[in-house]
Amino acid sequence: MKIGFFDSGIGGLTVLREAIRQYPHAQYYYYADTAHVPYGKRSETKIKELVSASVDFLVNLEVDMIVLACNTATSVAVRDLRKKIDIPIVGMEPAVKPATELRSVKKKRIVVAATPTTLSAAKLDTLITDLEAKDRIDLLSLQKLVVFAEQSKFDTNAVRNYLSRKLSFISSKKYGSIVLGCTHFIYYKKLIAELLPPAVTIIDGNAGTVSRMLDLLPQPIPTIKLEVHYYESGEEKTLDKMYTYFNWLENQKK
C-alpha cells in the first residue's frame, strides 16, 4: 500500500504522524511544496496549478491513495482533482461540524481559524450554511503561523505576541470553541490552549482525516513494512526535518 500525502509545506506532517501512529503498515510518500509555501494568500488559480503539479508527482510514484493534508489545497482544488484522478483522494476541511455538535458549549460562538484562502472559499461557506451555523461563527486568519511553522519558530516571543494579539477577543463567556482549520496550526495547539480561557475547546480535523484514510483502505487491510519518503517540491530529502517536526509535536503533549 503506497499512500501519498500532500501539503504546501510541513503542516501536513501533523496528519502523517497520526497516520503512521494508527497504521504503521504502509509506504508513505510525503510531498511538501516548500518552494511555493505559503499557499494561504495565493489566488485560487495559482493554488490549483501548484496542487495539480504536486499531485501528478505523487501519482507518478504510483501511490494508491492521496491524502490532501492541507485545508487550503482541499478547499480550492479537491473537486477538480477527483475528476482528473481515479485513485481515492482524502481531503481536509475545517472541523466545523464537530464544533457545532459539541454539547458542552451548545449556544456559544465558534471561531474558525484558517488561511485567508480557506476562509474565503465557497467550500467553507457552503459547509457553514449547510450546518445552519452562520450566525454562530467568526472567521479568523492566522496566516502568520504558517510562516512561523515553516521557520521552525514554535514558542518564541514573536509567536506568543502574535497569538496573544490575535486570540485576545476570545472570552469564555461568548466563545465555546476554536477550530484549527489549517494543518500548520497544530504545532501551536499547546500555546493556543495556554492563551485561551480553559473553557474554550480546541478542535481540529486530523483524527477525522486519518479515520477517513483508514476507511478507504482495501480489505483485507495490507500490512507491509513501514516506509516513509519525504519530498520537497519534487526532490527527495532525508527524514531529519520530518523528525524535528515530529519531536515538536511530541513535546506538545507534555
Calpha distance 185→191 (Å, rounded): 10
Cell representation of residue 237: 530529502
When asked if residue 27 is in the footprint of ligand DGL (CB under 6 A), the reply is no
User: Which one of 68-76, 125-133, 200-208, 243-251 is the stretch in contact with ligand DGL (CB under 6 A)?
Assistant: 68-76
Whether 179 and 109 have beta carbons less than 8 Å apart is answered as no
CB nearer to ligand DGL: pick between 8 and 27 = 8
How far apart are the C-alpha atoms of 189 and 191, rounded to whole Å?
6
Indicate if 70 belongs to the active site: yes
Q: Does 71 bind ligand DGL (CB under 6 A)?
A: yes
Let me know if 164 is a catalytic residue.
no
List own/partner pairs for 42-46 with CB under 8 A and 24 or more apart: 42/117, 44/76, 44/117, 44/121
- 7 forms part of the interface with ligand DGL (CB under 6 A): yes
> Is residue 8 involved in binding ligand DGL (CB under 6 A)?
yes
Residue 58 cell numbers, joined: 505523487
**DSSP secondary-structure letter at 140?**
E
Q: Which residue in the set 27, 34, 54, 72 belongs to the binding site for ligand DGL (CB under 6 A)?
A: 72
Q: Which of 15, 65, 70, 76 is catalytic?
A: 70
* Residues carrying an active site annotation: 70, 182
Binding site residues, ligand DGL, CB under 6 A = 7-9, 11, 37-40, 70-72, 115, 118, 146, 182-184
